[in-house]
Amino acid sequence: MTRLSGQRILVTGGSGFIASHLCHRLVQAGARVFVLTKYNSLIDNVRLAGWWERVTPVEADLRNLDSLKVLRDVKPQVIYHFAAYNHVADSFTHVSEAIDVNGRGTVNLLESYDRYARFVYISSSEVYGDQRRVPFEETATPCPISPYAIGKYTGELYAKLQWHVRHRPVVVLRPFNAFGPYQSPRAVIAELILACLGGKDVITTEGRQTRDFNYVENLVDGFLLAAQRKQAVGEVINLGSGREISIRELARMIHRLCRSRSRLKIGTLAYRPTEIWRMVADARKAKRLLGWSPRVSLEKGLPHTIAWYRKFHALFLGPDAILGQLWPSDGSP
């Protein structure tokens, strides 16, 4: 692992799924890690619970330009910008929030502080939207088809503006679908695993749409390289395996690996009106500029992820779950 002893690194949205894994790696590498959060509360940041004394929380809200003045005191050398409204489907009913946080929030951050050695903007494969040419190559013109993706692309454009006009050392990354420990149950792989472990019906669409799934630690490798390689500055770079799998095949694979007795009800749900039918990365640029390629395959990452969710299920969702002990069903003290 590259040593980052004493380097001041700010991670916005650091308690999120992917960002928290990055924070762990940064701490292990000796960096001084600052986590931008709206509330300095351990109970709200479970993913960093075991590391909270080894990171420095910075209270600020991306939508409040005045609150971001605190960055002048933090003086980060590297900024990883993850913080976002991050649910694609729900963004259709939270349009203003998705655009405000993902678009204007990024503008506010970039305008508040510019004395960094590297600004890594974490965009999304969702910005590609409806494309005729697959795999998705960075030269393709984005066609975002959700408020979430439009907000992320707005932030991406403003980040690239900093490079073109102000020559700021900005890198834009487009990670494809992630999975791994600590992911929200609303994400497809986590949702499928928990249904299988809990003996619940596994309900999906016909599942013909394909996605490029990436174990979270693979993506963290790419994030670290993006802050170190000079060749990355000013570039937009995909982080993806270059391999696609249908949701139908994925559901069956997870069902088998979990040794689940749940009923597979594939084809029960309707497709989203704005479904992206094939989403897979052209990963050549990441290999060329970053020297990056995935270390952990889907076949190796899924069993490890399932093992983690077995423990999670036993602690929080099973019949003897600790959650029931912490929160009595009758609400009594």
Assigned domain for 173 exists? yes
Assigned domain for 110 exists? yes
The whole-model pTM stands at 0.93
The two beta strands, 210-211 and 245-246, are antiparallel
Assigned domain for 189 exists? no
Assigned domain for 35 exists? yes
**Residue numbers of the domain that contains 106:** 8-181+214-243+279-296
Assigned domain for 27 exists? yes
Assigned domain for 330 exists? no
Assigned domain for 133 exists? yes
Residues 36 and 58: beta-carbon distance below 8 Å? yes
Residue 218 parent element (H or E): helix 216-226
Query: Looking at residue 51, what is its pLDDT?
Result: 78
CATH number of the domain residue 56 falls in: 3.40.50.720
Count up the domains in the chain and report the number.
1
Q: What confidence tens digit (pLDDT) does each residue in 164-195 have?
A: 999 999 999 999 999 999 999 889 999 999 99
Query: Looking at residue 2, what is its pLDDT?
Result: 63
- List, in sequence order, every residue forming a beta bridge with 237; answer none if it has no partner: 173
Residues of the chain with pLDDT under 70: 1-2, 40-44, 316-333
Query: Looking at residue 187, what is its pLDDT?
Result: 93
Residues 266 and 206: beta-carbon distance below 8 Å? yes
Assigned domain for 258 exists? no
